[in-house]
Structure 1
Amino acid sequence: MEKKPSDAAIRAWARLTRAQQSAMAVIEQRLKVAKLPPLAWYDVLLEVERAGPAGLRPFELEKAMLLAQYNLSRLLSRIEEAGYIARQHCEEDGRGQIITITDAGKVARREIWTVYSTAIEAAVGQHLSDEQADTLSELLERIAAPPRKERSSR
């Protein structure tokens, strides 16, 4: 029989979800007001820029992204249409692609970060001391970490 969550775990889950939704709403609203692309674009641009001139394959990009992206190919098409990324054929895999960031993409990523970073401060930083933020970060890491294999009892 599976263990049911405690009332404390349910409260924590509800508050975590509410906090995430609230923070994301602040960030997305500020990006919209600044007439910048949505946050998912930043995540793509950051990871592709980090990859350097070698670029990333789409499956590598999806693994590296902070935000869940179920329609990555459509997102990449929109970012490419804006001139922020380029796609090249992968030499090792005739059907594969390599994604690289353009100079315009680097500029856009920096512009988004300017708004994104101040929104993080508004959504999280102003509510917590650095010590509290570190504690919260450590607790969330415990939740985000892959589950340990349970040992079977004999």
Structure 2
Amino acid sequence: MTSNGECLWLTSEQQLIWRDYLAGVSRINDRLDAELRPFGLDLGEYEILVNLSEADHLEMRMSELAQCVRQSRSRLTHTVARMEAKGLILRKSCQGDRRGVIAVLTATGLNLLQTAAPCHVASVRAALVDVVTADDFEALGRAMKAVVEVAD
């Protein structure tokens, strides 16, 4: 909106770029999900495994994990419960905070991540990194960093 309340419409070129962005993100996410399916994972579950694998002692408070992944707290709770049933994660109470819950990456979860990671990285390369020029990839990184920083 402009200062006088009028909508500042996108130009034709901006509309095309925006729509290409939406289509590209959808295509990348669909491809990454499909490539993870043989491992019994989806992209959201893989992201949880990665974040836990990088955390101290392979564990993280659920509230902190929710901030790190692209899921609402409610969806994260359901996803972690599903992963817990598969033996990939376990949940434990937080000492000193009866309401706090900690998600812990199990050995099974870590092994699955280590098995799936090479395929996932190859998929990321094939879906995006190797498709665009290095300059365009760096520009994308700067653009997304700006988006993230303005949203915080």
What TM bracket, shorter-length normalisation? Answer: 0.7 to 0.9
Q: Answer whether contact 1:88 1:99 (CA < 8 A) is retained.
A: yes
Pair 1:2–1:147, CA change in 2 (3 A)? farther
For residue 89 of structure 2, what is the aligned residue in structure 1? 85
Q: Answer whether contact 2:59 2:102 (CA < 8 A) is retained.
A: yes
Q: Answer whether contact 2:58 2:105 (CA < 8 A) is retained.
A: no
Looking at secondary structure, tell me which structure has more helix per residue: 2
1:106-121 matches, within 5 Å, as: 106-121=110-125
- Residues of 2 paired with 1:78 and 1:109: CA distance? 16
Q: Which has the higher contact order (CA 8 A, sep 6+)?
A: 1
1:28-54 per-residue CA deviation (whole Å, 9 max, x = no partner) reads: 11222x343111111111111211227
| Unaligned segments of structure 1, at least 5 residues | 149-154
1:89-129 per-residue CA deviation (whole Å, 9 max, x = no partner) reads: 11121122111111111111122222211111111123112
- Residues of 2 paired with 1:127 and 1:110: CA distance? 25
Aligned with 1:15: secondary structure? helix
For residue 68 of structure 1, what is the aligned residue in structure 2? 71
Which of the numbers 3, 6, 10 marks the counterpart of 2:15? 10
CA RMSD of aligned residues (A): 1.9
For residue 106 of structure 2, what is the aligned residue in structure 1? 102
Pair 1:4–1:90, CA change in 2 (3 A)? same
Residue identity (%): 18
1:1-80 matches, within 5 Å, as: 1-7=5-11, 8-32=13-37, 34-53=38-57, 55-65=59-69, 67-69=70-72, 70-80=74-84
Aligned with 1:127: secondary structure? coil
Q: Give the total of aligned pairs.
A: 146
CA displacement at 1:146 relative to structure 2: 1.8
CA displacement at 1:133 relative to structure 2: 0.8
| Unaligned segments of structure 2, at least 5 residues | none
TM-score with structure 1 length normalisation?
A: 0.84
* Runs of 4+ displaced beyond 3 Å: none
Aligned with 1:145: secondary structure? helix
TM-score with structure 2 length normalisation?
A: 0.85
> Partner amino acid for 2:42?
P
Looking at secondary structure, tell me which structure has more strand per residue: 2
Q: Answer whether contact 1:90 1:97 (CA < 8 A) is retained.
A: yes
- Residues of 1 paired with 2:45 and 2:102: CA distance? 17
